[in-house]
Amino acid sequence: MNKQIIIDGEVVTYRPGQTLIQAARESGIYIPHLCYQPGYHAIGSCRVCMVKVNGRWASACTTLAAEGQVIDNRTLEVDAHRKQIVQMLFVEGNHYCPYCEKSGECDLQATAYELNMQEDHFQHLYPHRSLDTSHAEVWLDRDRCILCGLCVQASAEQDNKHLFTLGGRGTATQLLVNSSSGQLGETNISAADEAVAVCPVGALMKKQSIYSRRSGERTYDKTPISKLEFKA
Amino acid sequence: MIVSIANEYSVPVSEVRAIIDFYHFLSDKKNADYHFYFSNNIIDKMAHSDLLVLQLGERLNSIIQQDPSRVCLDETSCIGLADHAPAALVNGRPLPALNPQSIEEVAELVALGRPLDHWPAHLFQVRTRICRRSWLLNMSLPPGESLLSWQTKGSATILQELQASQLRGRGGAGFATALKWRSCEEQHSGEKYVICNADEGEPGTFKDRVMLSEHSDWLWEGMTLCAATVGASKGFLYLRAEYAYLLPQLETSLQVRRDTGWLGAALKERLGFEFDIQIVLGAGAYICGEESALLESLEGKRGIPRIRPPFPTISGYLRQPTVVNNVETFIHAAAIISKGSDSFLQLGTTQSKGTQLLSISGDCQRPGVYEYAFGETVEQILSDCGADEVQAVQIGGPSGQLLGPQSFHLTLGYEALGGSGSLMIFNHRRSLIEVVNNFTNFFAFESCGFCTPCRVGTALNQRMLTRLHLKQLRQHEIQLLEESVRLMQNSSHCGLGQSAGNSILNLLHDFPETVEQLLNTIGDDNEARLVQALQPAVQLRKS
């Protein structure tokens, strides 16, 4: 027997064991998210999928759907809250959308557009982060990394290579490469790895394939992120 | 070195690096011969720790220049000696109540290259100051008393008695102890664990240090009682690295328990179950006081709080059913079962039964540990410890609340002023922005970095508070500060981020005059001046 929750006034059915974001997705409802991707374990770190469940804040990717839940998702209040979290992600790193190779294909940028983000709002932290171009096929630009951990999971579980770890603490948290020098060049990463494909931003990029689509013809130029995940 | 550790334990190199980078006391370099960590809590700063660091630095400068591997001067978050401020650690040993004379002495010993074992004992002397005793500290608890009670009554009755006592966790969160134990007891699969959280990291607290020094046997009793009740055979004491100097005496007191038949294999004969306790040291991370982060740390990982549920009583250490309680909570449980809950229930308030240990520090005549029944007013406590001209108190540590005199009628208890029992006092000569700025720096340093709002929010708050302190922050930026704190309260993954901005909001809302004096108003009157300057033109146009 299917059970029901309500998201923004709409009745949504779920199966026991599903999280809010999984249930919503199956019903064609978009809950903004970055560190969660279907097919991956939810870790609940980016907090972009925060919703209000019966008036209390909760992350939709780690909260199980349960009978009686009434959920605010795309309300003014919740989206305003999310926008500020996305703004925090922007000021934390060094993001240069106008000339970023990932522009138009970037989930962070697309989510910012979806939430109508027009300014950074908070003071930029301007961190000093390192760029690793030591590998022939793939580069790692930590300036753009949002610490979602998707590449960590992908490399360990899908590529079977265990090439990445999140290390450090606080704002010094960073993506570490599993090699004695800490450089990508020493690893057996390949441009075809799922770890590269899953990166939602321009942190892990394939070399020699950049700017391959014109502005106006890029993925998110044509379809907003809220619609893209439901396109067949 | 990192590569050889990775090979030895068969883990990826990046994992080793990740852990070293996470814990403040770990490093990939060899420690200096004399590695000093000065406590940077506000209480130490108020006792001029900065000047003492400078003094020591000046005295040792030539040595450090010559050979940096000999001496390192570093700082760290509160080391649990706020009753002996200013304090530092040298190679893990405590240097309490430092002053210019003792710094001279220390500098001399370092210059001579004297090993720590040959330093005069008075330098390391931590005096226990228990200033007020009530229900718990007046008690005598012979070893085994609560265990014999368990033997006679059985687990079900013990759980009922604990529930009747309404004991709640003394670590800060205040969860009902009986519910925790019962939930673990009800699990029927897996090996169960009993873990004591002695990661007393909330700045300003030291009562667990005092209990570990004076009454460790009571703790072993409480943990063993818990193990008997829930059916666990293995226990851990997760001891913060800052208390590593207590290790020898704790190991000795554990051995006495084993030798007298109250722990280890001998228990089997006596009471029909086996249970032993192992002490594990932390490595410098406040977040590991959060119980699920503590479990991660105990498993040898970075201390990142887990997604809950499942709670530790169902899936804890190694995903097995686990009870995690604070030092004081285990001791209270043992005392309640030994002596019965009647006298305990007579003390306290409706929702907060019994007594609580307070760690009192800062501007007062008698800093130390005080035991109070819940329901006592802040005013009375301040009078008892000899605090005059009090401008504000921080209760519950930096994650608690900053109270001004208008709130001193409030009372101890989970209803209003719960938390870890830290009480820091600030008189009228102190600068509150310095206090709150210190707390904000603390959280930025200790945020684990897992979730966006806490990782970024603590860094943003730190920058804004520093600018407020320097009189650079403008009125409209106060709103940004509040937004950042609200975002952290609403969406952080764990309690650290949710509570990290409390004292900032207290400062903004309860001390508006202080904030007003700090705001940068230069140029605020520009608009008025512009209107005035344009007046002639306006007049001209009208005519």
- Are A99 and A31 members of one domain? no
Residue A131 has pLDDT above 60, yes or no: yes
- Are A23 and A111 members of one domain? no
- Are B61 and B144 members of one domain? no
Q: Spell out where B55-114 has E strands.
A: 71-76, 88-90, 93-95
Residues in chain A: 232
- Are A55 and A94 members of one domain? no
Q: Give the residue-averaged pLDDT of A83-108.
A: 96
Report how many domains make up chain B.
4
DSSP string, B140-195: ---TTHHHHHHHHH-HHHHHHHHHHHT-B-SSSS--BHHHHHHHHHT--SS--EEE
In DSSP terms, A3 is beta-bridged to: A14
Give B418-421 contacts, CB < 8 A, sequence gap 24+: B418/B172, B418/B174, B418/B352, B419/B172, B419/B202, B419/B395, B420/B171, B420/B172, B420/B200, B420/B202, B420/B205, B420/B396, B421/B170, B421/B205, B421/B207, B421/B328, B421/B356, B421/B357, B421/B358, B421/B359, B421/B396
- Are B285 and B415 members of one domain? no
Q: Give the residue-averaged pLDDT of B73-102.
A: 98
Residue B509 has pLDDT above 90, yes or no: yes
Of the candidates A46, A162, A165, the beta carbon closest to that of B452 is on A46
Rounded to the nearest angstrom, the minimum Cα separation between A100 and chain B is 22
Of the candidates B12, B452, B463, the beta carbon closest to that of A123 is on B463
Looking at B78, B97, B127, the residue that finishes a domain is B127
Report the pLDDT value the prediction gives residue B493, as an integer from 0 to 100. 97
- Are A18 and A101 members of one domain? no
Looking at B72, B101, B127, the residue that finishes a domain is B127
On whether any CB of chain A is under 8 Å from the CB of B413, the answer is no
Residue B444 lies in a domain: no
- Are A20 and A111 members of one domain? no
Alpha carbon distance B42, B50 (integer Å): 11
Residue B527 has pLDDT above 80, yes or no: no
Instruction: Flag if B17 and A176 touch (Cβ within 8 Å).
Output: yes
Looking at A31, A52, A74, the residue that finishes a domain is A74
- Are B251 and B395 members of one domain? no
Report the pLDDT value the prediction gives residue A160, as an integer from 0 to 100. 97
Measured between beta carbons, which residues in chain A are less than 8 angstroms from residue B449?
Answer: 147, 168-173
- Are A93 and A58 members of one domain? no
Say which CATH number the domain at B87 has: 3.40.30.10
Residue A52 lies in a domain: yes
- Alpha helix ranges (H) inside chain A: 20-26, 76-92, 107-114, 150-153, 194-197, 219-222, 225-228
In DSSP terms, A177 is beta-bridged to: A164
Of the candidates B14, B450, B487, the beta carbon closest to that of A45 is on B450
Residue A222 lies in a domain: no
Measured between beta carbons, which residues in chain B are less than 8 angstroms from residue A149?
Answer: none
Say which CATH number the domain at A107 has: 3.30.70.20
Q: Dihedral, CA atoms, B386, B389, B392, B398, nearest 10 degrees?
A: -40
Mean pLDDT of chain B: 96
- Are A165 and A56 members of one domain? no
Report how many domains make up chain A.
2
Measured between beta carbons, which residues in chain A are less than 8 angstroms from residue B17?
Answer: 165, 167, 176, 182
- Are B340 and B358 members of one domain? no
Residue B159 has pLDDT above 60, yes or no: yes
The whole domain housing B70 covers: 31-127
Q: What angle (nearest 5°) sits at the alpha carbon of residue B408, between those of residues B403 and B414? A: 75
Q: Mutation test of the interface with chain A: which of B19, B77, B452, B485, choosing the one with the most A Cβ atoms within 10 A?
A: B452
- Are B200 and B272 members of one domain? yes
Alpha carbon distance B17, B6 (integer Å): 9
The whole domain housing A138 covers: 85-210
Residue A208 has pLDDT above 90, yes or no: no
Residue A182 lies in a domain: yes
Instruction: Flag if A44 and B460 touch (Cβ within 8 Å).
Output: no
Residue B46 has pLDDT above 90, yes or no: yes
Residue B107 has pLDDT above 80, yes or no: yes
Residue B2 lies in a domain: no
Q: Give the residue-averaged pLDDT of B5-34.
A: 95
Say which CATH number the domain at B413 has: 3.10.20.600
Measured between beta carbons, which residues in chain A are less than 8 angstroms from residue B283?
Answer: none
Q: Give the residue-averaged pLDDT of B488-506.
A: 97
Report the pLDDT value the prediction gives residue B523, as an integer from 0 to 100. 80
Residue B19 lies in a domain: no
Q: Give the residue-averaged pLDDT of B432-449.
A: 98
- Assign B290 a pLDDT band (cuts: 50, 70, 90): very high
Instruction: Flag if B14 and A84 touch (Cβ within 8 Å).
Output: no
- Alpha helix ranges (H) inside A67-193: 76-92, 107-114, 150-153
Measured between beta carbons, which residues in chain B are less than 8 angstroms from residue A156?
Answer: none
Q: Give the residue-averaged pLDDT of A1-26.
A: 94
Instruction: Flag if A89 and B452 touch (Cβ within 8 Å).
Output: yes
- Are A64 and A177 members of one domain? no
Residue A42 lies in a domain: yes
Residue A232 has pLDDT above 70, yes or no: no
- Assign B1 a pLDDT band (cuts: 50, 70, 90): confident
Structure tokens at B232: 């666990």
Looking at A74, A105, A124, the residue that finishes a domain is A74
Residue B23 lies in a domain: no
Looking at B91, B109, B127, the residue that finishes a domain is B127
Residue A154 lies in a domain: yes
- Are A137 and A67 members of one domain? no
Phi first, then psi: what are they for A128, rounded to 5°?
Answer: -95, 110
Residue A174 has pLDDT above 90, yes or no: yes
Q: Mutation test of the interface with chain A: which of B13, B443, B477, B488, choosing the one with the most A Cβ atoms within 10 A?
A: B13
Residue B287 lies in a domain: yes
Residue A232 lies in a domain: no
Residue A149 lies in a domain: yes
Q: What is the 3-state secondary structure (H, E, C) of B21-59?
A: HHCCCCCCCCCCCEEEEEECCHHHHHCCHHHHHHHHHHH
What is chain B's percent helix, strand, coil content, to nearest 5? 50, 15, 35
Note the pLDDT tens digit of each residue in B258-283: 999 999 999 999 999 999 999 999 99
Measured between beta carbons, which residues in chain A are less than 8 angstroms from residue B452?
Answer: 45-48, 85, 88-89, 92
